[in-house]
DNA sequence: GTTACACGATAGCATATGGCGATTGCAATC
DNA sequence: GATTGCAATCGCCATATGCTATCGTGTAAC
């Protein structure tokens, strides 16, 4: 049984005339005759009663033809659905971002992607780099936004932006009076840090190797998010280091906390988008990159 | 797009593994690979994302596969429906009978066909021979029960039974006292007849050629059915001639009307079943004939 | 680091299928 | 009796579909 054969019987049932039905199917009359006989043989049912003057659908044939019509309708829907799926940017895209990027990037992203891909809803998630990597690999996510370094086989990595680190200081802290803060100065302070697993923690430690020992000694609490760190700084518990995008707008004014750049070489992190090589919707990724790089994130330098 | 291809993608979506999917489809792995690529090309959509380690269904693919599954289900139903339609005696059969046969045959027929073809409902109709002929020809009826003579191309005629004519007389009529009635005697009586178009009318006139003139002169009313004739006889309006099967059981006892056979050669009619040659369900016709010839109709001689 | 393996893609070839035009056979009609 | 119209049949061809063998690559094992 083939879709073509089903198309033939449906048409013949309508036309009740082999030659006309054949024409409507764009085949010759013998082709139609043979195909219909073949189907009748396969199903072992006489679908059409051939008379000299007239072709008539048998009672069993009526039901078969009706069902054949259904099959063809559903088959048409396959094409239609394929057509819809073809655009690449009209189906949901599943995106993950690390905890220290998502909250600050997503609002801009959502706004910017609307005009580029209005039909592409974003399914968003925040997680650790390792979890995101896993979910990207096994297909639970289509793209992840992480911070370099990031190594993974079979992926495309597109750099999005660099963002500098800055120091967040309680307004009444002595360091708040300085224009810039040196790494040396930080080593004597209580530096509040994210917990292990956050890549930003590692990046901060990398940028300021001296702060770890001190912080460990005082056994400061580990922040679970950049915002909790900010709250703790505001409460006077210590100093922290944040990526600039996180200080875009927040609830504390400069009487409570102040941001200060690093003296000397500014530490920064590079944020990149990772997708599987051979992912079926490169255009969706492209649209995503375009949307992100057109975001004006506080302090970030688009690439 | 073919049903085979749809079967392939559904299986591959389940197995997520070309070789295993190919096995389950009873084809080689290259066959599956090529077929799926072909479908993807035709639909212009990537349905599967091939990775070294893993085959994954794309988002567009998910919807396509789901729809493909529907198509296959409907296609399965075609086979199932065909299977059901194959028995020939498990679908309604549309039967017509002439007015003078239907009322007396149908009750027996219904009873007798039950054990032979319990799954075959009968759609019944009574009409004139000419109308039945037309409906058989254009497929509105599958079989008709008429009385010979009957000529028609492209049909099979199977004789069912012969039934004698008898004379129906009011019990208080002088003729009621006789054992038999001669044609001569009838010529002097008021003979009640069916209206034109009923073949039984013609058969009666054929059997007793002398009665017409007399009846016309007295301009008796024409009966619309054998039963109305019987009622009129019971009311004393005249005498009539009936086929024996019609006197099986009726509401009048022998104090009101009596049946008398013809003297000499008994006139009779032959009742036959007509179906189209090449009708798709010969078994249904066969069952029908068997059911009818096993009826014990009053006075009839099965053939 | 090398070998072995597993997987899907590709190539080359055989065969089945589906298609065609031409023809036949049969009724109906003129 | 000739013609017409119809579906069935025949013989032929192009293509589609399937196979085996092989390749390229990434992964696992030793």
Per-residue model confidence as pLDDT tens for chain A (303 residues)? 889 888 888 888 888 888 888 888 888 888 888 888 888 888 888 888 887 778 888 888 888 888 888 898 889 888 888 887 777 777 888 899 999 888 888 888 898 888 888 888 888 999 888 888 888 877 788 889 998 888 777 788 888 889 999 888 888 878 778 888 888 787 777 788 888 888 888 888 887 777 766 555 556 677 788 888 888 888 888 888 888 888 877 778 777 888 888 888 888 899 999 888 778 788 888 888 888 888 776 766 777
The string of pLDDT tens digits covering residues B83-104 is 877 777 778 888 999 998 888 8
In this predicted structure, what is the pLDDT of residue A216?
57
D24 nearest neighbour residue (CA to C1')? B52
**Cα(B220)–Cα(B199) distance, integer angstroms:** 19
Who touches strand C, with Cβ under 7 Å?
A 2, 4-5, 26-31, 34-35, 38, 52-53; B 17-19, 29-30, 33-34, 36-37, 50, 55, 153-154
D19 nearest neighbour residue (CA to C1')? B28
**Cα(B189)–Cα(B170) distance, integer angstroms:** 12
Strands A257-261 and A155-170: antiparallel
In this predicted structure, what is the pLDDT of residue B232?
86
First vs last C-alpha separation in chain A: 57
CA of B133 vs chain A CAs: smallest distance (Å): 16
Q: pTM here?
A: 0.71
At residue B133, does pLDDT exceed 70?
yes
Contact B175, B167 (CB under 8 A): yes
**Cα(B16)–Cα(A275) distance, integer angstroms:** 20
In this predicted structure, what is the pLDDT of residue B56?
84
Give me the percent of chain B exceeding a pLDDT of 70.
Answer: 96
At residue B176, does pLDDT exceed 80?
no
CA of B243 vs chain A CAs: smallest distance (Å): 34
B244-267 mean pLDDT: 82
User: A115 beta carbon < 7 A from strand D?
Assistant: no
Chain C positions within 7 A of any protein Cβ atom are 7-12, 18-22, 26-28
Residue B170 phi/psi, 5-degree rounding, is -60, 145
Does residue B114 belong to the interface with chain A, where contact is any CB pair within 8 Å? no
**Cα(B112)–Cα(B291) distance, integer angstroms:** 5
Please tell me chain B's helix, strand, coil percentages from 3-state DSSP, rounded to the nearest 5.
45, 20, 35
Of B1, B50, B278, which has the smallest distance from its Cβ to A75's Cβ? B1
Angle between helix A3-15 and A29-43 (nearest 10)? 110
In this predicted structure, what is the pLDDT of residue B85?
77
At residue B216, does pLDDT exceed 70?
no
**CA distances (Å), origin B177, targets B130, B169, B256:** 39, 10, 13
In this predicted structure, what is the pLDDT of residue B201?
86
């Amino acid at each position: 049984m083939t879709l073509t054969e089903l198309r033939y019987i449906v048409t013949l049932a309508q036309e009740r005339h082999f030659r006309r039905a054949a024409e409507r199917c764009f085949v010759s009359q013998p082709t139609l005759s043979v195909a219909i006989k073949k189907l009748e043989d396969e199903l072992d049912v006489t679908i059409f009663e051939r008379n000299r003057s007239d072709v008539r659908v048998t009672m069993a044939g009526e039901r078969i033809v009706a069902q054949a019509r259904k099959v063809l309708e559903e088959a048409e829907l396959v094409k239609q659905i394929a057509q819809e799926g073809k655009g690449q940017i009209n189906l949901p895209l599943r995106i993950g971002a690390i905890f220290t990027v998502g909250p600050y990037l997503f609002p801009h992203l959502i706004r910017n992607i609307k005009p580029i891909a209005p039909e592409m809803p974003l399914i968003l998630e925040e997680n650790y780099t390792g979890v995101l990597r896993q979910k990207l690999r096994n297909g639970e996510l289509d793209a992840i936004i992480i911070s370099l370094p990031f190594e993974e086989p079979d992926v495309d990595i597109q750099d999005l932006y660099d963002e500098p680190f800055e120091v967040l200081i309680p307004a009444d802290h002595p360091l708040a009076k300085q224009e810039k803060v040196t790494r040396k100065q930080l080593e004597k302070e209580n530096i509040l840090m994210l917990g292990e697993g956050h890549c930003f923690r590692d990046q901060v430690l990398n940028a300021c190797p001296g702060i770890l020992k001190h912080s460990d000694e005082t056994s400061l609490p580990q922040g679970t998010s950049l915002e909790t760190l900010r709250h703790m700084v505001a409460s006077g518990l210590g100093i922290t280091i944040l990526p600039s995008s996180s200080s875009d707008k927040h609830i504390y004014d400069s009487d409570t906390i102040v941001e200060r750049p690093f003296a000397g070489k500014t530490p920064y992190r590079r944020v990149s988008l990772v997708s599987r090589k051979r992912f079926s919707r490169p255009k969706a990724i492209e649209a995503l990159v375009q949307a992100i790089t057109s975001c004006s994130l506080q302090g970030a330098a688009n690439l």
